[in-house]
Amino acid sequence: MQISNIIFPDSAKDEEKAISWQQITEISDRDFGFNMPKEKTDKIRFCVRVLLFNDKDEICVVKSEKYGYMQLPGGGIEDGESIIKALCRETEEETGFLIKDIEPVGFTLERREDDRNTHSWGRDISYVFKVLPSKEVGTNYTEDEIDEGFKPIWVRLEDFIAEQESNEGKIESYSRCFSNRRDLLIAKYFQNRILRN
């Protein structure tokens, strides 16, 4: 579904705003049965997510050795950063690769308005891209990510989808409910796009 009134960070470039962004999904508290709304905030977190493919048609995902879950690489767009600059930085930090052949896939919207959301923002917009690796330079994880044992691994898209599907309904963490569902729907959206072509 295309949406004409998509919101962008102030630092987004005109050519990034001009992309014909397709909405991949919208996820909200009611999807998980959360119904304890907190005071709404207009603050939005802007993020990037990446489908990084190798020459074996595998995607690079970040695995937490401590907790065992996998997620698509990505994260928040920093103040003054363009969407593409954030994409390149986050991909390098989390996968260890510089990237090429950047292709927009779409965007996701998360509405986290339950009192379990401890962040100052109530909505998350993630711009999703398919990319290829150009050069390996090494990861640059934060202390929290190192403590969790983050590491990049390569998996088949269908195996990632199966793993995320098996986690549905079993996750206790409020935030991980959203991130698991978001990454699952991004992967399925992309898989369906491949099957259509």
pLDDT digits (tens, 9 = 90+) for 37-58: 888 888 999 999 999 999 999 9
Q: What is the mean pLDDT of the chain?
A: 94
- In which band, very low, low, confident or very high, does the pLDDT at 2 lie, cut at 50, 70 and 90? very low
Range of the domain at 23: 14-196
Residue 33 belongs to some domain of the structure: yes
Residue 4 belongs to some domain of the structure: no
- In which band, very low, low, confident or very high, does the pLDDT at 5 lie, cut at 50, 70 and 90? low
Of 28, 67, 18, 55, which Cα lies nearest the Cα of 185? 28
Of 71, 89, 92, 96, which Cα lies nearest the Cα of 176? 71
- What CATH number should be reported for the domain holding residue 78? 3.90.79.10
Residue 157 belongs to some domain of the structure: yes
Burial 153-171 (b: 16+ CB within 10 A, else e): eebebeebbebbeebeeeb
